[in-house]
Structure 1
Amino acid sequence: MIKKLKSKILTSIRNKRINVFVLFLLSAFIILIFTKLSKQYTNTIAFEIEKQNVPQKYVILNDSTQLHITLKTHGFKWLRYYFTTPKIKIDFTKDIYEEDHVFVYNKSKSYLNNTQFDKEVELLSLSPEKLIFRYGINQVKKLPVKLHTNIDFSHGYNNSTPIITEPDSIVVVGPNILVSELDGLETEELVLNDVRVDLNEKVKLKLPKNKADLKFSVEEVSVKAKVERFTEGTLKIPVTLINAPKKAEIKYFPKQVSVSYYVSLSEFNTITSKDFKVICDYNKTNKNQSFLIPELVKAPVGVKNIKIGQKRIEFIVIK
C-alpha cells in the first residue's frame, strides 16, 4: 500500500515537472514570435489592381493586373499581406488620365504611401512605375460554331442526317478591339469510336486567351446527328450530253452508267434513278480526245460514297 502511494506521488511530481517545462517552452516560443514580429522587414509583394468608378461605356482590358511594391514595415503588418490578397485601389475618375487611346496610371511613391498605406508602412519602390490600361467600347457579335470531329462509325453504320451543333452560333460581348478579331469559334476535337447510336454529345468551345475580357452566351455546344444502319445500292443512270456542237452529230457509248451509293436502310427503297443525274460536257474535251468524262451533278440528300462505275464515255463525231 505504501509502495503504491509512493509511486503515485513520484508520478504526480514528474507530470508537474513536464507541465511546467511545456508551459515554459510555450512561453518562450510566444516571446520569440512577438520579438520577431516586432522587428522591421523589407520585402517585395505583388498587389492586385482593384479598378473603381470605371465609366460604363468603357471596358478595361486585363493587361495591367499587378503592381509589385517593395515595403518596409514590422512583422505584424506583414501578416496582413500574407493572409489576405493585397490590393491597390485605382479610381478611374481621379487617379488616371487618357493618352494615345489608353488610360495611364502614373502616381508617385509618396502619393501611394499617403493614400493606400498607414504611417507604419514605408513604400520603398514600385514596379512598373506606370500602368497602361487598354480599353474598348462594348460590341455584340454573333459567331458561327466550327465543329471539329473525329468520328469512327461501326461497320455498316453512318450518320443519316448532317452532324450539327446546337446552337450553331453563339453571341460574344466585349471590347470592340477584341470582338472584331473573331470570325468564329472552333470546338475542341470530339473523338468517338465504334458509333452505332444517335449522336448527342457535349463538347467545349475553344475560347480565346483573353476570354476574361469577353462574355460568351455559351461555352459548350451539343453535337447531334441521327445514326442508322447503311447498305449499298446500285442503279443504272442515263448519260446526258451537254454543249454538243450544233452542226455535228455526237455518237457516244455507253448511254448509261452504273452508279453505286451508300444509303440508310430506312431510305433504301425510296431511292430511284430519277434522283441522280450524270452528264458529259463536250466543252471539256480536247481536239484529239476520243472520250468524255462522266460527272455526277445531282444526287439525293443523305446518300454517301457515290461512285460512277465508268470513268470514260467513248464518242465519235459525225459531220
Structure 2
Amino acid sequence: MIRKLKSELVTSIKNKRLNVFLLFLFSAFIILIFTKLSKDYTSTLNFAIKKVNVPRDKVILNDSSHKLQVTLKTHGFKWLKYYFTEPDISIDFSNEVYKKQNTYVYTKSVSYLNEKKPFRSEVKLLNINPDTLVFRYDTNLVKKVAVNIETDISFFPGFDIVDDYKITPDSVTIIGPEELVNAINVVNTEKIILTEIKSNISIKAKLNLPKNTADLKFSDNDVQFTANVEKFTEGVVTIPIQVINLPQDVSIKYFPKEVKVSYYTSLKNFNSISAKDFKVKCDFNKVDTKQSVLIPELVKLPSNVKHIKLNQKRIEFIILK
C-alpha cells in the first residue's frame, strides 16, 4: 500500500514538471516569434498594377510586363499583410501618367510612392523596378450587335408556341478596341434544349461571349428568353382559286376550281379563323405550257396560323380559245 502511494506521488510530481516544462517551452516560442516579427526586414515583392480613372474612350491593352518589383523595409508584423494578400499599386490615369505617341507613360520616384498607400505606416519603400511603365492603348469603339438564339425545343403533342420566340434584350452593346469589336457581328446564346414543353417559357439564356477578350466589355452576359405556349389544333378550309394575268384573247377551263387548305392554330384562335382569311391564286404567267398545269399559290393567310398546307399542288387546265 505504501509503495503504491509512493509511486503515485512520484508520477504526479513528474507530470507537473512536464507540464511546467511544456508551458515554459511554449512561452519561449511565443517570445521568439514576437522578437522576430518586431525586427525590420528588407525584401522585394512583385506588385500588380491596378488601373483607375482610365478615360472612357480608351482601353488599356493587357500586358504581362505591367508589374513593379518593389523593395520594402518594415518590421515583421507589417510583412504579414503582403504574404497573405496579393499586393498592388493603384495608378491614377487622370493625374499620374502622361501621353507619349500612342502610349501612356508612368514614371514616379521612390519618394513619391512612399507617400502613397499601401506604403504608409512604418513601411519604407527603398527601390522600384522598372522605374517606368509604358501602357499601350487603343480607342474604344461602341457597337451594337444582334443576339441570335440557338434552340432545340420539342413540344408535348398538341402544344406549340404562339407567335415567335422573344429575347430581351435582342442586341448587346460591345465596347473595346476597334479591331476586336469590328470582328464581331452577332452574339449567339448557349443552345437552349427543352423537351415536351406544354407551358409558357421564361428562362435566362447565357451568351456565348468570345473567349480571351479581356479588352472587350459587353452590356449583357445573358438574355431573357420567353415564349407563349398554348394547346393547338388543326383546321381545314376550302378556298376558291383565282387565275390572274390571263390574256384577254385566251379563255381556259381549269379543275379543280377550289383547294383545301389545312393549318395549325391555337384553340383560342380557332373560332376566329374563316375561309375569307385565305386567298389562293394561279399566275398564268408562270404556267407550265408543256404539261398544261397551273401552280396554286397561297397569297393571303392570317398571322395566327402555322404549318399551312395546300392539298392540291397542280391545277390542270385546257385552253378554250
Length-normalised TM-score, structure 2: 0.74
Q: Determine the structure 2 residue equivalent to 1:274.
A: 276
Aligned to 1:226: 228
- What are the Cα deviations for residues 70-123 of structure 1, in whole angstroms up to 9, with x where unaligned? 3445684653323334222323344323345x441242xxx4544325645433
Aligned equivalents of 1:266 and 1:134: distance in 2?
56
* Matching of residue 14 in structure 1 with residue 15 in structure 2: yes
Matches within 5 A, 1:208-223: 214=217, 216=219, 220-223=222-225
Question: In 2, distance between residues paired with 1:87 and 1:30?
Answer: 32
Assess if the C-alpha contact under 8 Å between 2:232 and 2:265 holds in 1: yes
The normalised TM-score by structure 1 is: 0.75
- Count of residue pairs brought into register by the alignment: 306
Partner residue in 1 for 2:127: 122
**Aligned residue number for residue 86 of structure 1:** 87
Alignment map for 1:101-180 (pairs within 5 Å): 102-107=102-107, 111-117=108-114, 119-125=124-130, 129-136=133-140, 145-165=147-167, 167-169=168-170, 172=173, 177=178
**Displacement of 1:150:** 2.4
Task: Give structure 1 stretches of 5+ with no counterpart.
Answer: none
Distance in structure 1 (CA, Å) of the matches to 2:177 and 2:128: 38
Deviation, 1:124, is 4.2
Residue of structure 1 in register with 2:237 after alignment: 235
Change (3 A) 1:310 1:88: same
Farther-moved stretch of structure 1 (304-313 vs 195-204): 195-204
After TM superposition, give the deviation of residue 316 of structure 1 in Å. Answer: 2.7
Aligned Cα root-mean-square deviation (Å): 3.9
Q: Structure 2 vs 1, CA of residues 182 and 9 (structure 1 numbering), >3 Å: closer, same or farther?
A: same
- Structure 2 residues without counterparts, runs of 5 or longer: 115-122
CA distance, structure 1, for counterparts of residue 135 and residue 34 of structure 2: 38
Match of 1:301 in 2: 303
Q: Secondary structure at the match of 2:48?
A: strand
Residues 258-304 of structure 1, C-alpha deviation per residue, up to 9 Å, x if partnerless? 21111222322332211111122222235534222221121112212
| Secondary structure, aligned partner of 2:317 | strand
- Given the alignment, which residue of 194, 197, 203 partners 1:195? 197
Once the 2 structures are TM-superposed, how far is the Cα of residue 156 of structure 1 from its aligned partner? Answer: 0.9
Counterpart in the other structure of 2:254: 252
